Amino acid sequence: MKFDILTVFPEYFDVLKHSLIGKAIGDGVFDVQVTNIRDFTLDKHKKTDDTPYGGGAGMLMTPDPIARSIEHVDPNHEAWRIYMSPRGARLNQQKVESLASCQRILILCGDYEGIDQRVIDMFIDEELSIGDYVLTGGELPALVTVNAVARYIDGVLGSNASTEEESFSNGLLEYPQYTRPEVYRGVSVPKVLLDGNHKDIANWRLEKSLEITMKNRPDLLVDAPIDQYLPKKKRKHKK
């Protein structure tokens, strides 16, 4: 899998050299190519922004350097082209998983107050947001997206790690976890986890997941496929 990142702040992506993601890139498991949009300006001042038509505060990214950089890295539109923006559809684990099946992803990072609408209309397949807040640029959202997607690529997580039993994988938040020591500062690990009864452990974890989800993110319960945990005759959608 290959990511192309287009940005006027390529240094942001130096962070990829560290961490598990950097190791996976070094191992050739996947590739991240960062392109500086400023290299595609044609004027001598290398200008990438301008004031908005119609007035208003702040600056917008001017269309031509963006258009030329996209055409340079993806001339045949082989990549799925994403623009990070607060008005995009919200990124979630389901979306992350579906992006992980793409061969190539191009992520355009906007800075200032955003970019000229015409490059969005001409070149972008999807606007994506990491949450309901505004940042100074799309670089951190792009890093979040690359990180979340990379975890689904074979060879990024350690051999024991798994994306199957974590938060959101069953539509619920994850249950509490414990490691050694058995008693820490007087607090014991819940007994059910020490007894080795797998059915009891699964039930306890489900109960805790439901409890935590209800408390912190009741909105997730609307879509979580929790019907499967009810006795068969009480299910609305029998399988």
Q: Which of 24, 130, 148, 224 binds ligand 4GM (CB under 6 A)?
A: 130
Q: Are 111 and 85 in contact (CB under 8 A)?
A: no
Q: How far apart are CA 49 and CA 52, in angstroms?
A: 9
Looking only at residues 51 through 90 of this chain, which bind ligand 4GM when binding is defined by CB under 6 A? 84-86
Tokens of 106: 């191009």
Reference 10, options 113, 137, 98, 127; nearest CA is: 137
CA-based R_g, the chain, Å: 22
- First CA to last CA distance, the chain: 35
| For ligand 4GM, the closer CB: 24 or 37 | 37
Considering the rule CB under 6 A, would residue 211 count as an interface residue with ligand 4GM?
no
- Kindly indicate which of the ranges 92-100, 130-138, 169-177, 182-190 contains the residues binding ligand 4GM, using the contact rule CB under 6 A: 130-138
Q: For the CB of residue 143, give the shortest distance to ligand 4GM in the complex, in Å.
A: 11
Considering the rule CB under 6 A, would residue 135 count as an interface residue with ligand 4GM?
yes
CA-CA-CA-CA torsion sign (67, 91, 76, 40): positive
Considering the rule CB under 6 A, would residue 122 count as an interface residue with ligand 4GM?
no
DSSP structural state of residue 189: P
- Cα–Cα distance list, 75 to 41, 87, 224 (Å): 17, 26, 40
Considering the rule CB under 6 A, would residue 7 count as an interface residue with ligand 4GM?
no
Q: For the CB of residue 1, give the shortest distance to ligand 4GM in the complex, in Å.
A: 21
CB proximity list for 69: less than 8 A, separation 6 or greater: 6, 35, 37, 39, 40
Q: For the CB of residue 34, give the shortest distance to ligand 4GM in the complex, in Å.
A: 17
| For ligand 4GM, the closer CB: 59 or 210 | 59
Q: For the CB of residue 37, give the shortest distance to ligand 4GM in the complex, in Å.
A: 13
Q: Which residues bind ligand 4GM (CB under 6 A)?
A: 84-86, 110, 113-114, 129-131, 133-135, 137-138, 141
